[in-house]
Chains A and B, each alone.
Chain A
Amino acid sequence: MIELNNLTKSYTGGQKKAVDNLSWKINDGEIAGFIGPNGAGKSTTIKMMTGLVSPDSGSVALNGFDITKDALRAKQQFAYVSDTPDNFLRLKVIEYLNFIADIYQVSEEDRNSRITDMAKRFDLMEVLERPIMEFSHGMRQKVMIMGALVHNPSIWILDEPMVGLDPNAAFTLKELMREHAAAGNSVLFSTHVLEVAEKLCDHIGLIVSGQMVFQGTMEELKGRYPKGTYLETIFMEITKNA
């Protein structure tokens, strides 16, 4: 369960607030999609949720643990994939995965079976011993996703995880998200692909210049417009008016 309460953040030197009084609740078993134009504040919100940026005011609770007050236990609850996949480039894939598994104290059996399973699903088995540096953008993204999931936390927080993935990998990721939510966990991810949000998410949050302008299901959003209106049109309408 993810709870965001009245989050506000403005960067030093920034004229306006990057995130303005944002509240959101994502229940167990839900997949939540975070959409909004470039620079709307999605990544900033996600960074506040994961403790990377401290909010000016407001609070974040992950499975009930406050990210600032009870940081370590809150950090045990989630997996995070950042919006750049160019991390730990000098490590081999398998070294990176084991490093993460060690940090989260995953048992030897669990890690081996999870890595084997994911490497097969993401088609990375043969390149496990190559440094991440030599990988393409999409391959790096897959590695980061594997790293995030190897410790099987209950909350997933993914910042634009589909960028650069091929259709197979994107499908696998969606499948993983569905399985995870079905097991009673929460998933939050940001995306610019409205179709993905529509098909996958139980719940969407639409953010425009720091403010949450819509929360609810895709059906509810579409219900506000004449039948048959394209999602794109709705998105453009809302962002223009806000």
Chain B
Amino acid sequence: MRKLFLLERTMRKCSGSMFANIGMGSISVDQNLSKSQRILQYIGITLVAGAAMFFIGRFSMGIFGQFAADGLHTLAYEAICVGLMLICLFLATQKALSLFFLSGDNETLIHMPIRPGMIAFAKALVIYRSCAIATGMIGIPILIAAQICSGGTVISFAAAVLVPLLLPVPPVFYVVLLSIVMMRYIQIGKTKESRASTITVIFMLIMFLVPQLLNLLQKGVNTGGGVEAVVESLGNVIRIFEYIFPTTFLTVGSLQEGGILALVLLLAAILLIVAVYAWVADKLFLKAILQAGHHGSKQKVADEKTILRYGSASHSVKKAYARKERQLLFRTPVFFLQSVLLTLIMTVLFAVLCVFLLVRMMSEITEMGKMELGSYEAYIWYGALGVVLLISALAVAFTHVTSTCISREGKNFPYMKTMPVPMKTQLAVKSRIGLYMAIAGALPFVIIINYICLMLSVSPLFIPVSLIASMSVLVLGNDVQMYLDCSSPILNWENEYAAATNNHLLGSALGPLLFVAVLMGIGAGCYMICKTLWLPVIAVVLVAAVAGSWMLHNWLYAKAVKNIENL
């Protein structure tokens, strides 16, 4: 047992900070600090986490009250459990990628006098731990709030604490077992398998998305949308989950009145799963490791003609640099998955959903478009502009290309630094790729919103205004990401996964949003004062936005370059 926890601790430390996955890369205790400073940091983190949990609880109390009033207790519990399990699946997949496919410790550990099953078990524990922290932080306050609302017994309060901690077990072990089985066939770390991983992800998405879309369309035609349709499609997702993870019944059951039997059964089921896992892992893990790593790329024999062929490409410094960036980004499965595919999939997914919603609401929109807008036009302008800005901020925050631009280099970084290419040029090339990705992520939605606004017969001036505002958020967010990565890059990584976690989701989205919000606030204030002048006001705000972001852009670059020089 002692050995198991020792293994777990070592692996956890090697696989990156536990918060990195939730996008809070910067919040983790720095082990280099003195003891008192460390304690202070722990207290700080506890306070922040406590406050966050309190807000989650407070917030969900209202929502749960609403559900309870509609008599939808069970559905609410189900939705919570399934939501938490989805989070687990997401986190577990990421961690499993790092711990099973990309870690170099397998080959070292297998030589030691440790049962292979124990290695696999320790890895699963690492994953479970990070999932349980997430589900605990989110789930416990929500469920306690729910129990307060419905006046639960002591046992149901105990269940509210236990369930979020037990919930991750089935998804985690599911993912881990799948990883062990897949390890034999896919060797992500060693060769380029981005094609295989792309196909897998897209396939999974289609499996998930198509039934939902069909559902949505059908419901739209039959009932004309509304609450029932939402409840219905939510129910469908939950059914799917209950098929995959039969324990969902027990989790939901144990939260309800008289749930003690379900709770006991749940505990028993979890124990069973763990036992089965330990047994299966012991049987499979060694074989998986031994069989992995026998795949190489197709070996071509090169000769002098090859040299001539490659040597005649474009020779401009910037183009060569950008080409190398793209090659690294697209060929490294982890970067490709995290930085490129995720953004594209999110965009496609949400854009498709938006278009479907739009199609369904078309008649209502055209109806509204016929009305006189009058003084409401200003509100629509501001509302739509706000949405555009929010979407741009999200698009840039979820694109991890720029936020990992220096970290991705890892051990190549010394070579980048000794090149006779100014750091500013290198950074500009790097962040431009991220900017293009972010634009690709935001543009479909900006177009959709513009379309709606035009349908509502808002002045066509909205198009350039929204485009400029969106661009300034994208550029600024991208710059902030670059700056953050330059000030604290992760360079000493053994597996690429560690570099991919250096994304400061909050900072890169909040900073530019705040900037634009301040500007828009000034604009709104001006409008309040002189009601008729709202178009000129927006023009002034825009000029300020462009000038401000241009200045901030240059300032961030200068700071970033300075940080890099001092690394």
Q: Which A residues fall within an 8 A CB radius of B?
A: 13, 47, 50-52, 54, 72-73, 75-76, 78, 80, 82, 84, 86-88, 90-91, 94-95, 98-99, 101-105, 108, 111-112, 115-116, 119, 125-131, 133-134
Interface CB pairs A-B, < 8 A, 30:
A51-B418, A54-B565, A80-B415, A82-B414, A88-B328, A88-B412, A90-B192, A90-B328, A91-B324, A91-B328, A94-B306, A94-B310, A95-B310, A95-B327, A98-B320, A99-B321, A99-B323, A102-B321, A103-B420, A105-B315, A105-B317, A111-B311, A115-B307, A115-B311, A119-B307, A125-B303, A126-B303, A129-B300, A131-B191, A134-B190
Contacts of B32 in A (CB 8 A): 13
Beyond A98-B311, A119-B307, whether A72 also contacts B420 by CB under 8 A is yes
Beyond A98-B313, A115-B311, A133-B190, whether A87 also contacts B420 by CB under 8 A is no
Find out whether the CB atom of A127 lies under 8 angstroms from the CB atom of B324: no
Give bound CA distance, A98 to B306, whole Å: 12
Beyond A52-B417, A129-B302, A133-B190, whether A94 also contacts B411 by CB under 8 A is no
Give bound CA distance, A103 to B418, whole Å: 11
Contacts of B421 in A (CB 8 A): 72, 103
Name A87's contact: one of B327, B415, B422, B565 (CB within 8 Å).
Answer: B415
Q: Does B316 belong to the interface (CB within 8 Å)?
A: yes
A-B CB proximity, top 6 nearest? A102-B320, A128-B302, A75-B420, A129-B302, A90-B331, A94-B310
Name A131's contact: one of B192, B302, B304 (CB within 8 Å).
Answer: B192
Q: How far is the CB of B98 from chain A (nearest CB, A)?
A: 17
Contacts of B412 in A (CB 8 A): 87-88
Name B297's contact: one of A84, A111, A130 (CB within 8 Å).
Answer: A130
Name A112's contact: one of B308, B324, B328 (CB within 8 Å).
Answer: B308
Beyond A52-B417, A52-B418, A87-B412, whether A103 also contacts B317 by CB under 8 A is yes
Q: Does B223 belong to the interface (CB within 8 Å)?
A: no
Name B321's contact: one of A73, A103, A108, A116 (CB within 8 Å).
Answer: A103
Q: Does B566 belong to the interface (CB within 8 Å)?
A: yes
Find out whether the CB atom of A108 lies under 8 angstroms from the CB atom of B418: no
Chain B residue with minimal CB distance to A113?
Answer: B307
Contacts of B300 in A (CB 8 A): 129-130
Chain A residue with minimal CB distance to B565?
Answer: A54
Q: How far is the CB of A67 from chain B (nearest CB, A)?
A: 10
Give bound CA distance, A111 to B315, whole Å: 11
Give bound CA distance, A76 to B422, whole Å: 12
Contacts of B304 in A (CB 8 A): 116, 125
Q: Does B551 belong to the interface (CB within 8 Å)?
A: no
Q: How far is the CB of B128 from chain A (nearest CB, A)?
A: 31
Chain B residue with minimal CB distance to A119?
Answer: B307
Find out whether the CB atom of B419 lies under 8 angstroms from the CB atom of A90: no
Chain A residue with minimal CB distance to B324?
Answer: A99
Beyond A127-B302, A130-B299, whether A108 also contacts B420 by CB under 8 A is no
Find out whether the CB atom of A134 lies under 8 angstroms from the CB atom of B323: no
Chain A residue with minimal CB distance to B421?
Answer: A103
Chain A residue with minimal CB distance to B420?
Answer: A75
Q: Which B residues fall within an 8 A CB radius of A?
A: 32, 190-192, 296-297, 299-304, 306-308, 310-313, 315-317, 319-321, 323-324, 327-328, 331-332, 411-412, 414-415, 417-422, 565-566
Name B302's contact: one of A51, A87, A125 (CB within 8 Å).
Answer: A125
Give bound CA distance, A127 to B307, whole Å: 11
Chain B residue with minimal CB distance to A79?
Answer: B418
Find out whether the CB atom of A90 lies under 8 angstroms from the CB atom of B332: yes
Q: How far is the CB of A26 from chain B (nearest CB, A)?
A: 18
Contacts of B317 in A (CB 8 A): 102-103, 105
Beyond A91-B324, A130-B297, whether A102 also contacts B422 by CB under 8 A is no
Contacts of B301 in A (CB 8 A): 126
Give bound CA distance, A58 to B54, whole Å: 55
Find out whether the CB atom of A51 lies under 8 angstroms from the CB atom of B306: no
Give bound CA distance, A111 to B324, whole Å: 18
Give bound CA distance, A116 to B308, whole Å: 9
Contacts of B302 in A (CB 8 A): 94, 125-129
Contacts of A99 in B (CB 8 A): 320-321, 323-324
Find out whether the CB atom of B316 lies under 8 angstroms from the CB atom of A90: no
Identify which of B300, B315, B316, B321 gathers the most chain A CB atoms within 10 Å of its CB.
Answer: B315
Contacts of B417 in A (CB 8 A): 50-52
Q: How far is the CB of A163 from chain B (nearest CB, A)?
A: 15
Q: How far is the CB of B186 from chain A (nearest CB, A)?
A: 15
Name B191's contact: one of A54, A115, A134 (CB within 8 Å).
Answer: A134
Chain B residue with minimal CB distance to A74?
Answer: B420
Find out whether the CB atom of B331 lies under 8 angstroms from the CB atom of A103: no
Contacts of A125 in B (CB 8 A): 302-304
Give bound CA distance, A75 to B416, whole Å: 11
Find out whether the CB atom of A134 lies under 8 angstroms from the CB atom of B297: yes
Find out whether the CB atom of B418 lies under 8 angstroms from the CB atom of A80: yes
Find out whether the CB atom of B311 lies under 8 angstroms from the CB atom of A91: no
Contacts of B415 in A (CB 8 A): 80, 82, 87-88
Contacts of A54 in B (CB 8 A): 565-566
Contacts of B323 in A (CB 8 A): 99
Find out whether the CB atom of A128 lies under 8 angstroms from the CB atom of B191: no
Contacts of B312 in A (CB 8 A): 108
Beyond A75-B420, A90-B192, whether A52 also contacts B315 by CB under 8 A is no
Find out whether the CB atom of B311 lies under 8 angstroms from the CB atom of A84: no
Q: How far is the CB of A160 from chain B (nearest CB, A)?
A: 14
Give bound CA distance, A94 to B310, whole Å: 7
Identify which of A47, A103, A133 gathers the most chain B CB atoms within 10 Å of its CB.
Answer: A103
Other 11 A-B pairs with CB < 8 A, given A51-B417, A98-B313, A99-B320: A82-B411, A82-B415, A90-B332, A99-B321, A99-B323, A103-B317, A104-B419, A105-B317, A115-B311, A125-B302, A126-B302
